[in-house]
A and B are shown apart, each in its own frame.
Chain A
Amino acid sequence: MTSLASCLLLSALLFAIGLAGALMRRNAILVLIGIELMLNAANLNFIAFWRYGPNPEALTGMIFVIFSIGVAAAEAAVGLALIISLYRHTRTANMDEVNSMRG
């Protein structure tokens, strides 16, 4: 009984959880994990619309998810490198204390 609406609701829920983590957690790594969850929610939407869409044999939704996973992997690598660099500078991964650019 997998319906399109239940897939979309699961995706919206995952997106909201990821957004909550990205906006509300203090640790920078948790912020990155939240962004990964939001990307996964978007991927689930692509797959659901590919499955229920009018022209699944063109495979466009699937190919889009493959590229999206590649871009997300690049984003995770660069983001974690930035966090490690930030930690070397400030000895913390705490988003509240990284405020040297605050006006």
Chain B
Amino acid sequence: MSGWYGANLILVQNTFIGLVLALSIQFPMRMGVFSFTGAGSYGLGAYLAAILVIDHRFPALAAIAAAMAVSLVVSVLLGLLVQQLDGLYLGMATIAFCLIVSVAATAGGDLTGGPTGRFGAISDFTSGHIYVIAVAALLLVALTEFGRVGRRIEAVREDPELAAAVGINVRAYRLAAFAASGLLGGCAGAMNLLARTTITPVDIGFSLVILALTMIIVGGIRSWKGALIGAVVFTWLPELLAVVGKWEHVVYGALVAAAAIWMPGGLYGVWSDAKYRYRVGRRKAPSGADRSGPRTGAPELRTVGEGVAEP
């Protein structure tokens, strides 16, 4: 076991870091905020941590905290800036933000190291830190799926007008989505930098957006379980299948497209749908009721089905 762990240390670390990155994009999407701020914050956090650790000899945790604080401020400001926008426009504006970060990283001169990036960020960072931080982040995000907060988030996603009408401060929730996205993204970026010790503009460009999207779209967008599934699958898939390793990015693109077309709920969505249908089917079967009723009703119920299926 320990031999396996040693051999696959980098992949294990990547799984946890990928999980935090996936959560940073998934959290706003779960609130219906179509924002890619998390990917931009990831780049911001990674570069900030690199500058702090290499130039100012910050200890690891202080660098992560500083990176998170700055990306929090930046993404809340961005959230305020784009609060009028919705849907497509918001998505494209936040993609533009991610690309601004990578342009700034390329053009930043000595501070960001230009196209070659920064390297040699050696600190007191250990794998233990990654696991503790990632699990803490996962728990915090998972907590927002239950109880009052969970129901409010669902209301804000499904029908913002209705949510506002029943007294939910939709604007505050949407800003919170940006804040969480900045914190998680900055954290993931800083951790990745400290674990890998290098960062280049190539690492934070468009491919990062695709990777994060792949994880949550294929895993599932509605639940932290989806992000977890996505992070595990897409960290280990290229390793397990040599073919996938070679055509990694082609496969990712195809999977995102396929998932967006045929299973918008992701793998987790498919599973929870199946579970829900099985329950409904079993409840109806003994009474001999007409089965076509629940079956045609199922797509209608799917939007709220997640909440129903949860124990």
Whether both chains belong to one complex is answered with no
Which residues of A pack against B, CB within 8 Å?
Answer: none
